[in-house]
Structure 1
Amino acid sequence: MDYALNFPQHLGLYLKSLRKAKGMSQAGLASLLQVTQSRIAAIEKDPSAVSVGQMMAILELLGAQLVLRAQTLPPETALSDAASVPVQAGESTSKSKQARVVASQAAPAQHLEPRPSAQPLKHTVLADDWQSHKPQGRW
């Protein structure tokens, strides 16, 4: 089954799920990878702490693979978008169509609402002679 990762944090959850589905403990996976159990725990908690090579080795042991798939538009949408933009002078037809299709796939800009402002800090009233009360000792 394919899983789409929309956020980096999801990768750790998927790794943990794959490991448990194989009936492996963190210590068992660690021994196969010749690392410590705490290293596996750290990878599951923060997958950005692992190299691509290490990730490929982990996935292989868990019976999974990394698949990169380009997002595509339905063919009729891609063709209509490519046909609607004129070709620039000196630009090859196939290259310009590819560029327009890629540009048409870009996500539209989103309007972001400003966050409500933070609550103002409460002022602390200090005694008039606060400067004369210096702490004893050294830092």
Structure 2
Amino acid sequence: MDYPIRTLQQIRPLLVGFRKHAGMSLAQVAALLGVTQQSYAKIEANPAATSVERLFTILRLLGGEIVLAQNGEPGETAILDALPDRAPAGSRPVPATKSKKVSVAAPSKVLPPTKKMEPW
């Protein structure tokens, strides 16, 4: 059965459903992936934050697959209109104005990660 995904929020229930349909627990999937149960639970809770490579691996393990399909052919104007900060066709550009300088605080020091990452 195909499940078209149009928003990132639709991925989580599909992952949970695929796992349950395969009759596997979080711990079983995590063991097959070589990660902790907590790590896999985080991925399943927010799959949009994981890489496509990891998601692909998980889906293959659960008997799923990724299928991409194009719905129609967008025209050039549809693509250009979808870009941010694009003025509508036929509108006149607004002249630039001078703005006041705003002082910005220096960026804070970048700290190394505190958690040990698991290799995939």
Gaps of 5+ in 1: 73-100, 110-139
Q: Aligned partners of 2:17, 2:76: CA distance in 1, in Å?
A: 36
Partner in structure 1 of residue 15 of structure 2: 15
> 1:36 maps to what in 2?
36
Equivalent residue runs for 1:78-117 within 5 Å = 101-103=73-75, 106=78
Whether 1:70 and 2:70 are equivalent positions in the alignment is: yes
1:40 shift after superposition: 1.5
Asked whether the 8 Å contact 2:15–2:44 carries over to 1, the reply is yes
**TM (normalized to structure 2)?**
0.60
Q: Which has the higher helix share?
A: 1
The residue type equivalent to 1:52 in the other structure is V
Deviations 1:74-117 (A, max 9, x none): xxxxxxxxxxxxxxxxxxxxxxxxxxx522894999xxxxxxxx
CA RMSD of superposed structures (Å): 2.2
Say how many residue pairs are matched.
Answer: 81
Report the TM-score, using the length of structure 1 for normalisation: 0.53
**Mapped partners of 2:77, 2:22: distance in 1:** 38
Kindly report structure 1 stretches of 4+ aligned residues shifted beyond 3 Å: 104-109
C-alpha distance in 2 between matches for 1:35 and 1:70: 34
CA, structure 1 residues 2+105, in 2 after alignment: closer, same or farther (shift >3 Å)? Answer: farther
Output the CA distance in 2 between the equivalents of 1:8 and 1:45: 12
Spell out, residue by residue over 1:102-134, the C-alpha distance to the aligned partner (whole angstroms, 9 max, x if none).
22894999xxxxxxxxxxxxxxxxxxxxxxxxx
Greater displacement, 17-26 / 47-56? 47-56
Which whole-Å CA distance do the structure 1 matches of 2:42 and 2:35 have between them?
A: 11
One-letter code of the match for 1:29? V
Structure of greater Rg: 1
Would the aligned equivalents of 2:11 and 2:48 in 1 still touch at CA under 8 Å? no
